[in-house]
Each structure stands twice: as structure tokens, then as C-alpha cells.
């Protein structure tokens, strides 16, 4: 197959393909979650997997997030590589002891004797009119915890390559999929590939300002960069791809070049991913900055149901555009 | 549910050699814990220590039915489980003192001893925190067809935690080879379990249709016999089981819990210690059947004291981890 053999896949298809390839490659991999088998999850991301791999590999569980996540921790410690499906990221609250006190710490607490090679896949992202308990982006919570790795893919290509690396990783990895991107299409090579965890990607080169963005905010930042180009501002869009580990060097190097930075992320702004990344940039590129590092996160409010209310709580291409113009002195 | 309070000789399957082995193991645990108490009260041991004294028959009776590669998970009161499953006291003491030679290289301490080589997936300082791990190990054993069994030790305090019931439901649904061993030592920290636990303990496994038994946890023969039934059953595909062992924590919730009269009387403690002591009762039985004489029993203690003293000295003489190594093992 030539290296240029590329198809368009949706974000959901890319994830499904990564799962299928790893299920084929490694018999220790199993998928556990609510309605993951015949239903293929409410988002249909896993549709078709049970037909190929059967119910011994694609395993429906009770509505029991702490129970099946805890079970996955024990299975991972004893020779398996489970992938648990937590339907909505909001339900992370139900598995926090299993992930934070158990999975994240077992390798360290045992002095390296035990390992927990598991993946927790879950969703994030607002504007689906799902209200406050089905719309949160809680990746900052787990990014805070040493021992966990946290992945936030922004394209079908990244989703596939990062998920394959997450499944092969020897550590517990939390993998966030913005549910608003499941139908997003993008090029995905036919050939096998993986993307290492901890390597940022410059999604669009630029010279005037760096926009660091995560997950679906990368797509929003790319749209803002198009608008900025029309007013003569060259924006560089940098996607960390993983918040833990965080590729500090790529972020700092970009801002050293552009001298300005905006950090965009869909988690709540206070104490969030934007704060951490802004601090990394301020620390690493201080003498190169021509303006304060600015942050755009989700508004510090529970996600409202009513569409006109919900829409103002998240960063948009226009809010990024306006802030970038101001920072560049071209407002 | 079945209630077994007395195990006959035939049922328990304990002969002289096995009996002395089990008695020695119980003596080791008691002497180990007494030494821990001393290290702690002399401020040589940092942190917290939750002693297993009084409950030795549970760990020894259950673990004597397990194969070396069977799994256990343990609790904050876990030293007895670790020793009974095969951990060595020298590396345990080293861990308790935060030394590099410890089972967890000093990263875990008293409440987190893990030893994969003996199937010990770790003690856990979250009450019911290891229920998921034990159930997952049983899931893995069944999925891999390895024939291994997992035992989840927990105290009756864990009966208040939801995750225990979530994994019991999964274990029964999927017929996983796991035995949930509930050590009812009567006290959730400083509160009698009757003040925290509605209904009957065994009504809980019954609600899941899970096989359950209750034994006198101060009678190692009864524990051994029941564990044998439940482990064999689990190993042969019969599914999970729940074993309630009625026992008693002689000391405080932790070593520093000295003044206990506000939650239990000295008379109650004395009664358990003088009339139901697991070592005394088992020793009497061994002598009565001619499996041992008092000198043999004393010899077990002499051997244990020597071993424990040597082990403690090893740990005291061992170096601490290098502080520059603190970030090692955060990620595999």
C-alpha cells in the first residue's frame, strides 16, 4: 500500500478502527462498558465490534461505573489490557476512587511491582443541549493526578494514532473524545501508525500569535486562524494532544517565535488546563512575550440547558478572533 | 446461607504437620504485630499502624487454602494477610520503616504492602478500595482460564461502601472465582457496627443470590474448613462466595488508639482475649488431639520471635531510599 493511501474517516470511525486493530493484535484487550456490545454505545462509536469480536471481548456491564472500572483495574494488574467506556465524562465523578486512588497510584505505591495498563475512554464537550450533568469537560481533574496519562485528540488522524498508543501503554490512560466531533471527517492513512503520547502537534504554522488549543477547541482555533488571516494576522495553532504528559517544549518554542499566546480549552477556566498551560508559557517564554498570556475556557457556570444560554458558555471562533486581534494590537 | 460454627476434624482436614504449620503462622503474625507496636510506640516507625492481633485465625485459615499464585487483596489492617500469603517479615518491616529494601521500596508503607510474587495485589487504605481489584483479578483469572482464585479481605466497615455491592453484583452475574471475606471485628474504627449497619450482614450476599457462610473467626479450623469449601467451589466454576468471619480486634483501631472505653469496655476486651483467643483455642485442640504438646507450641513462638527479631533488625539496618529517586515509578 503506498504511503499516500489515505481515506476520509469520521472521528468515530477512526476510534472504532483503532479499537478493532488493537483487539485483533492483542488478545488481552477487552472492552467493558454500558451498552458497548450490540448497541455499540448511544453514540454508535463501537458499532460492529461485537460482531467481529463477540461478547467475550466486547462486554456489556451493568450501570455500575465504579464497579466495572474497579474490575478493570484488577484485570489490568493481572495480565489483561481492559478498555472501559464511560459514556459521559460527567460520570467520571463515579469512578474517581478507582482511577485516582487505585489505578493512578498502584504502580508507585508498589514500588514499581504492579502495573495498570488500562484505558478509560470517555466523552466531553458542551453545546449538545444535554444540560449540566451530560456536558462537562472534566479532563483537568484527571490531569492533576500523577500516575494518569490524559489524551485529548482533535482530529480523526490523531484519535486513531493516540488511542492505539494509549492501549499499548503500561499506564492508566484517560482518553477524552469530544462528542461533538464524532461526525467530523478527516484523512486517515490506510497503513498502521501510532502517535506517541506527550508530543504536541503544530496544526497550523504562523508567526504573529500562538493559539494553544485542545480537543474540539483545535477545530475552533483553526476557524479563528482563518478569520485572523483575513485581517493580516498569522496565527500558529498548537495542539498539545496530551495534557499528561505535556509537551512543554513545543508550546514554549512556539510562543518564543510568536511572542503572544492564547490558550483555549473547554474545561472550566478557573484552576483549569488553560491555567496550567498559560503558566508553562509564562515561565518558559517570559522574556519573549509582548503581551500577557490570555486564557479562554468554559465559563465558570454549570452548563445550562437553554441553547442561547449554553452557547455563550464556551469559546467560539469569534471570541478567539476578537481576543487575538486585541492581543496583536489590531482590534 | 449456611452457618458453620464448628468444624469436625474430618471436615477441617488438619493433620499434625498442617496444624503446627498453621499455628506457627498465627504465632508469627502475633509476634510480628507486637514488634510493630513496639517500633511504633518507640517512634521508630513513621506513620500509622493498624494491628491484626486477635484476628490471626482469619488470614491463616483462609490463606492456608490458597495456592501460591492465587490472589489476595488486603486492607489497612493487612500485615496478617501479607504474612499468611507468603510475604517475608524482613521486607515487610523494611516497608513499614520506609526503607528501600521494603516490598514497595518504601513508597507504600504499612497500608500498601503488595507482593505479586505471592499473589498479593496489595493492601489498600481506602475502605472497600480493593474490592474492584480483587474482582478484576478474578475476572482476569476466569477470562484467561488460569484456574486462579481471588480472595478479597475486608472489614465489616466496608459494608457501608457502594463499590463493594457493585462488584459483588458483577461477580455473581459473571460467576467470577472470588471469595469475599468479611472480617467482622465489631468496630468500624471507633463505632460498633450495629450503629452503622442496617439489617443482617448475610442478607447482603443473599440479595445477589451469592452463596454465603458464617464462621467463628476465632476458630481457625472453622475458617480453614469454610475457606476450603468456598475456594474449591470458586475454582471449579461455582462462582463467588461471601464468608463472614466473626472476630475481634484486640488493640485499638490503630496503635495510637489507647483509651477505648468510650466505645467498648475493658471487660468485653478481656472476655474475647481470655475465652476466645484463636491461638489458645487452636493450641488446646492440637494438644488434645496429640498433634502437639505445650513445648511444641512454645517452640513455635521461640522460632517466631527469633525470625521476627532478625527481620526487624534487617529493616532497622537497611538504608532509606535516595531522595533523588522520589519520582521513579510514577509511570511504568
**Cβ pair A149, A242 in contact under 8 A:** yes
Instruction: Express each pLDDT in A87-137 by its tens digit.
Output: 999 999 999 999 999 999 999 999 999 999 999 999 999 999 999 999 999
Longest dimension (CA), chain B: 57
Q: What whole-number distance in Å separates Cα of residue A223 and Cα of residue A203?
A: 12
Q: What whole-number distance in Å separates Cα of residue A263 and Cα of residue A221?
A: 10
Residue B7 pLDDT level (bands cut at 50, 70, 90): very low
**Cβ pair A205, A170 in contact under 8 A:** no
User: Among A22, A34, A65, A236, which one carries the catalytic annotation?
Assistant: A65
The minimal CB distance from A66 to the residues B116, B136, B166 is found for: B166
Q: Which residues of A lie inside 8 Å of B (Cβ-Cβ)?
A: 30, 56, 61-62, 64, 66-80, 82, 97-98, 101-102, 106-115, 117, 146-147, 149, 170-171
CATH number for region A7-189: 3.40.50.970
Q: What whole-number distance in Å separates Cα of residue B21 and Cα of residue B15?
A: 10
Task: Give strand ranges (E) for B133-207.
Answer: 150-155, 178-184, 187-188, 191-192
SS3 label, residue A82: strand
Question: In the β-sheet with A173-178, what is the strand arrangement from edge to edge?
Answer: A58-60, A29-33, A81-86, A119-124, A173-178, A149-151, A242-244
A7-189 and A201-327 in the same fold: yes
Instruction: Express each pLDDT in A128-159 by its tens digit.
Output: 999 999 999 999 999 999 999 999 999 999 99
Provide the CA A179 distance to its chain's centre, in angstroms. 11
Interval A56-72 mean pLDDT: 98
Interval A20-24 mean pLDDT: 98
Provide the CA A111 distance to its chain's centre, in angstroms. 29
Residue of A186, A160, A192 lying closest to A3 (CA atoms): A192
Residue A3 pLDDT level (bands cut at 50, 70, 90): low
Radius of gyration of chain A (CA): 20
Residue B13 pLDDT level (bands cut at 50, 70, 90): confident
Half-sphere exposure of A64 (CA within 13 A, CB side): 21
Task: Give strand ranges (E) for B24-97.
Answer: 71-73
Interval B203-229 mean pLDDT: 98
Which CATH superfamily is B2-316 part of? Answer: Thiamin diphosphate (ThDP)-binding fold, Pyr/PP domains (3.40.50.970)
Indicate if the pLDDT at residue B61 is higher than 70: yes
User: What ipTM, to 2 d.p.?
Assistant: 0.95
CB contact under 8 A, B126 and A73: no
A179 phi/psi in degrees, rounded to 5: -65, -20
CB contact under 8 A, A75 and B140: yes
| Topology (CATH level 3) of domain A201-327 | Rossmann fold (3.40.50)
Domain boundaries, chain A: 7-189, 201-327
Q: What whole-number distance in Å separates Cα of residue A239 and Cα of residue A247?
A: 10
Number of H helices, E strands in chain B: 12, 8
Indicate if the pLDDT at residue A2 is higher than 80: no
Mean pLDDT rounded to a whole number for chain B: 96
> How confident is the model at residue A124, as a pLDDT?
97
Q: What whole-number distance in Å separates Cα of residue A93 and Cα of residue A146?
A: 17
Contacts of B175 in chain A (CB under 8 A): none
Interval A215-231 mean pLDDT: 98
Mutate to test the interface with A, among B98, B114, B166, B168 (most CBs of A within 10 A): B166
Whether the bond into A245 is cis, omega within 30 of 0: yes
Mutate to test the interface with B, among A84, A113, A168, A172 (most CBs of B within 10 A): A113
Is A288 assigned a catalytic role?
no
SS3 label, residue A125: coil
Dihedral sign for Cα B145, B147, B148, B152, please: positive
DSSP B115: B
**Cβ pair A36, A60 in contact under 8 A:** yes
A236 forms bridges with which residues in the sheet?
A: A210
Interval A2-8 mean pLDDT: 73
Q: What percent of chain B has pLDDT over 70?
A: 96
Task: Give strand ranges (E) for B148-222.
Answer: 150-155, 178-184, 187-188, 191-192, 211-216
In sequence order, the 6+-apart residues with CB closer than 8 A to the CB of B117 are B86
Is A22 assigned a catalytic role?
no
Residue of B237, B308, B255 lying closest to B46 (CA atoms): B255
CB contact under 8 A, A78 and B331: no
Strand A242-244 versus strand A149-151 pairing type: antiparallel
* Nearest-Cα residue of chain B relative to residue A70: B132
> How confident is the model at residue A4, as a pLDDT?
62
A122 phi/psi in degrees, rounded to 5: -150, 180
Q: What whole-number distance in Å separates Cα of residue A203 and Cα of residue A184?
A: 16
Mean pLDDT rounded to a whole number for chain A: 97
Interval A233-238 mean pLDDT: 98
Half-sphere exposure of A268 (CA within 13 A, CB side): 11
Amino acid at each position: 500500500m503506498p504511503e499516500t493511501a489515505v481515506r476520509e474517516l469520521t472521528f468515530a470511525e477512526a476510534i472504532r478502527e483503532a479499537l478493532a486493530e488493537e483487539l485483533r493484535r492483542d488478545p488481552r484487550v477487552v472492552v467493558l462498558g454500558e451498552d458497548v456490545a450490540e448497541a455499540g454505545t448511544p453514540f454508535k462509536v463501537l458499532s460492529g465490534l461485537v460482531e467481529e469480536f463477540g461478547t467475550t471481548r466486547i462486554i456489556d456491564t451493568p450501570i455500575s461505573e465504579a464497579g466495572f472500572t474497579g474490575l478493570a483495574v484488577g484485570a489490568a494488574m493481572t495480565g489483561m489490557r481492559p478498555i472501559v467506556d464511560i459514556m459521559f465524562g460527567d460520570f467520571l465523578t463515579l469512578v474517581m476512587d478507582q482511577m485516582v486512588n487505585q489505578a493512578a497510584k498502584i504502580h508507585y505505591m508498589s514500588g514499581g511491582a504492579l502495573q495498570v495498563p488500562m484505558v478509560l475512554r470517555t466523552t466531553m464537550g458542551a453545546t449538545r443541549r444535554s444540560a449540566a450533568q451530560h456536558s462537562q469537560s472534566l479532563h483537568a481533574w484527571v490531569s492533576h493526578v500523577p500516575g494518569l496519562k490524559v489524551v485529548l485528540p482533535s482530529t480523526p488522524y490523531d484519535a486513531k494514532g493516540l488511542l492505539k498508543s494509549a492501549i499499548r501503554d503500561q499506564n492508566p490512560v484517560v482518553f477524552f473524545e469530544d462528542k461533538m466531533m464524532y461526525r467530523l471527517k478527516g484523512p486517515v492513512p490506510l497503513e498502521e501508525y501510532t502517535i506517541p503520547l506527550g508530543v504536541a502537534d503544530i496544526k497550523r504554522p504562523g508567526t504573529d500569535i500562538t493559539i494553544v488549543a485542545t480537543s474540539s477547541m483545535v477545530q475552533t482555533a483553526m476557524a479563528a486562524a482563518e478569520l485572523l488571516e483575513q485581517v493580516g494576522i498569522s496565527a500558529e495553532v498548537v495542539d498539545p494532544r496530551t495534557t499528561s504528559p505535556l509537551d512543554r517544549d513545543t508550546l514554549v518554542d512556539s510562543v518564543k517565535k510568536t511572542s503572544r499566546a492564547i490558550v483555549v480549552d473547554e474545561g472550566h477556566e478557573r484552576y483549569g488546563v488553560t491555567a496550567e498551560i498559560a503558566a508553562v508559557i509564562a515561565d518558559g517564554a517570559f522574556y519573549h512575550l509582548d503581551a500577557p498570556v490570555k486564557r479562554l475556557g468554559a465559563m465558570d457556570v454549570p452548563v445550562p440547558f437553554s441553547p442561547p444560554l449554553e452557547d455563550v458558555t464556551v469559546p467560539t471562533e469569534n471570541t478567539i478572533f476578537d481576543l487575538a486581534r486585541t492581543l496583536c494590537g489590531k482590534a | 446461607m449456611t452457618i458453620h460454627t464448628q468444624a469436625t476434624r474430618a471436615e477441617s482436614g488438619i493433620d499434625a504437620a498442617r496444624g503446627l504449620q498453621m499455628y506457627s503462622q498465627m504465632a508469627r503474625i502475633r509476634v510480628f504485630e507486637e514488634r510493630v507496636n513496639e517500633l511504633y510506640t518507640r517512634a521508630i516507625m513513621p506513620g500509622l499502624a493498624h494491628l491484626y492481633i486477635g484476628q490471626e485465625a482469619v488470614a491463616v485459615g483462609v490463606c492456608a487454602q490458597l495456592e501460591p499464585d492465587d490472589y489476595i487483596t488486603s486492607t489497612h489492617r493487612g500485615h496478617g494477610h501479607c504474612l499468611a500469603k507468603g510475604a517475608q517479615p524482613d521486607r515487610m518491616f523494611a516497608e513499614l520503616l520506609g526503607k528501600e529494601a521494603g516490598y514497595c521500596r518504601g513508597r507504600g508503607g504499612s497500608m500498601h504492602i503488595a507482593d505479586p510474587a505471592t499473589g498479593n495485589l496489595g493492601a489498600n487504605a481506602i475502605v472497600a478500595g480493593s474490592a474492584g481489584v480483587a474482582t478484576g483479578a478474578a475476572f482476569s483469572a476466569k477470562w484467561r482460564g488460569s484456574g486462579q482464585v481471588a480472595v478479597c479481605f475486608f472489614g465489616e466497615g466496608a459494608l457501608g461502601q457502594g463499590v463493594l455491592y457493585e462488584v459483588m453484583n458483577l461477580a455473581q452475574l459473571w460467576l467470577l472465582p472470588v471469595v469475599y471475606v468479611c472480617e467482622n471485628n465489631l468496630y468500624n474504627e471507633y463505632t460498633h457496627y450495629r450503629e452503622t449497619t442496617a439489617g443482617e450482614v448475610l442478607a447482603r450476599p443473599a440479595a445477589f443470590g451469592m452463596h454465603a457462610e458464617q464462621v467463628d473467626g476465632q476458630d481457625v479450623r472453622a475458617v480453614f474448613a469454610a475457606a476450603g469449601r468456598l475456594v474449591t467451589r470458586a475454582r471449579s466454576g461455582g462462582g463467588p462466595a461471601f464468608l463472614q468471619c466473626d472476630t475481634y480486634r484486640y488493640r485499638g483501631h490503630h496503635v495510637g488508639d489507647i483509651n477505648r472505653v468510650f466505645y467498648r469496655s475493658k471487660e468485653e476486651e478481656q472476655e474475647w482475649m481470655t475465652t476466645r483467643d484463636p491461638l489458645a483455642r487452636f493450641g488446646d485442640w492440637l494438644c488434645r488431639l496429640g498433634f502437639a504438646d505445650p513445648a511444641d507450641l512454645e517452640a513455635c513462638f521461640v522460632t517466631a520471635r527469633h525470625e521476627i527479631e532478625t527481620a526487624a533488625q534487617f529493616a532497622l539496618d537497611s538504608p532509606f531510599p535516595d531522595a533523588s529517586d522520589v519520582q521513579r515509578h510514577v509511570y511504568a
